[in-house]
Each structure stands twice: as C-alpha cells, then as structure tokens.
Amino acid sequence: MAPKDLLLALVVIVVWGMNFVVIKIGLDDIPPMLLGALRFSLAAFPAILFIKRPQMPLRWLLAYGGTISLGQFAFLFSAMKVGMPAGLASLVLQSQAFFTLFFAVLFLGERFRASNLVGLVIAAGGLLLIGMQGDRSMTLAGFLLTICAASMWALGNIVTRKVGKVNLVGLVVWGSLIPPIPFFALSWVLEGPEAIGGALRGFGMDSALVLIYLAFGATILGYGLWSRLLSRYPANTVAPFSLLVPVVGLTSAAVLLDEHLGLHQAVGALLVMLGLVINVGGEWVVGRLRTAFGSSAV
C-alpha cells in the first residue's frame, strides 16, 4: 500500500475507533433513539443532493438501512446507555465478523474454513469471559445489546454481498434515509416527548459537535475513505486494518473516559483479538507454511 493510502487507512481507523467515545459523550445529553434519528438525518441531508443513488433494488436498500443503520445503532446506542463501556463496545462489536460467517453459511451457501472455526472458538471464549465478568463498569444488558448490534451489522454485510458491487458511499448515504423516521418513532414511544423536548431544549455546542462527528466523520468521511481504499487494493489487503479499530477504541476510552479493563476482561479482549486475527489472516499463514514446507521438500 502506498504511503499516502496507508495514512488514509490509519485516519479511518482513528476516526472509527474514536467514534465510541463520541457516542458515549453524546448519550449524556441525547437519548439513544433520538441520537440515532439526528445522526442519520444529518448523514442523509444534504449529501443525497450530491451523491447518486446506488444502482440496486429498493428492497435491498431498505434491508441495508434497516439492518446496518437502524438495527445496529438502535442496539449499540441502547447498549452504551445502559452500561456498555465505550472501549469494550468497540471490541465486542467486532464479533460481527463471526456473525457474518454464520449468516453467509445460512443464506449464501458459503462454507467455514478451518481458520474461521479456530478463530470463532477462540473469540467466543473471549466474549464469554467478558460477558461473565460484568461489574460496575459493564452491565450484562449492555453486553447482550452489543451482541445484538453486531448481529445486525452482520446481516447488513450479507445484504451488501447480495447487491454486489455498488458505490459504498452512495449506499451509506442513501441507506441513511431509512432510519430517521423509525428512530423518531422509537424515541417517541420509548423515550417520550418530554425527554425529546428536554434534549432539544438543552441542545448545545457539545451535542452539535457529536452529531457532526458521527454523521460526517464516522459515516461519510470514514466510509468514503474506506471505499477509496477498497477500489484500489484487494479486500484482503484493506480488511486487516479494521482490527485496529478496537485498539483505538480501548485506548481512547482509557485516556478520555478513564475506562479500564479488569483482569478477566483484559484476557477476554486478548482472546477476541486473537480470534479476529486468526479469522482474517489464518488462511494466509497456512498458505505461506505450505509453500515454505513444499519448497523445502523440493
């Protein structure tokens, strides 16, 4: 990867990793469903005036917006509101990689590779360890809601595979048209008009900066740069960089929010990261070993 593109990849990782700290700050003043409604409203407008709608059936656009945008962030924002730390959220959410594998087998007829199974078992052990060690820093409800968010992200990945090659920025922007109305409806029902009114009356500079970051930074800038990298390099070159997102998430949460992992959580986090690394790079390592042993045999 060229140095300039490597820098762009690192920018995306930092922006996405910091995203969880920003969400946590935003939830201090804005209820979860209202935050989702405002985020995706701002991500959709005015961007749809300048970015073409992706060439795909409407039902798939609705499915994408309903899973990876509405479903994922309804669960994630709720999880972080009820006690999921920002750093751990950035890590546990990466379990979407394994949910994607499961759904790909179920809906697309794909098969698990040996490295996928090994990575899944190791990461599942790490998640189990994290989930069993809920204390004042993490609630079980927050953990389970984050798992639900990861599953919705994974379903959105399956939708993306079904539609094939489309402009990723266009998909994200036009997919952002789907969540605002359901989010507003959920906010009205679950949070109530009094909470909505209070949040809007108390809307200040901090809330504005949070929404700008979530809509333009994490959504449009992040996916825009990511799609640029995917258009220039093979997916197996770009995808491993996503493993750095929870590293940035955990570090920024420790520095900015004073979040710290207990011993069991730290061990669980290491197991999850190891499982993700094996899932992403295991086949490459096996291939290299086979080549090395094959050449040495000759």
Structural domain including 264 reads 3-289
pLDDT in tens, 33-46: 999 999 999 999 99
Instruction: Enter the pTM of the model.
Output: 0.91
Residue 298 within any structural domain of the chain: no
- What's the pLDDT at 45? 93
> How many domains does the structure of the chain reveal?
1
What is the per-residue pLDDT for 191? 98
Residue 164: its pLDDT value, please? 83
In this structure, is residue 40 part of a structural domain? yes
Give the up-direction half-sphere exposure of residue 107: CA atoms within 13 A in the CB hemisphere. 15
Q: Which of 72, 96, 95, 76 is nearest to 86 (CA)?
A: 76
Residue 296 lies in a domain: no
Residue 294 lies in a domain: no
Give the pLDDT score at 211. Answer: 97
In a domain, 57, yes or no: yes
Separation of first and last alpha carbons in the chain:
32
pLDDT at 136: 62
Domain contains 295: no
In this prediction, the residues of the chain whose per-residue pLDDT falls under 70 are 133-136, 236, 282-298
- Given this model, what pLDDT does residue 288 score? 59
- The confidence score (pLDDT) of residue 231 equals 80
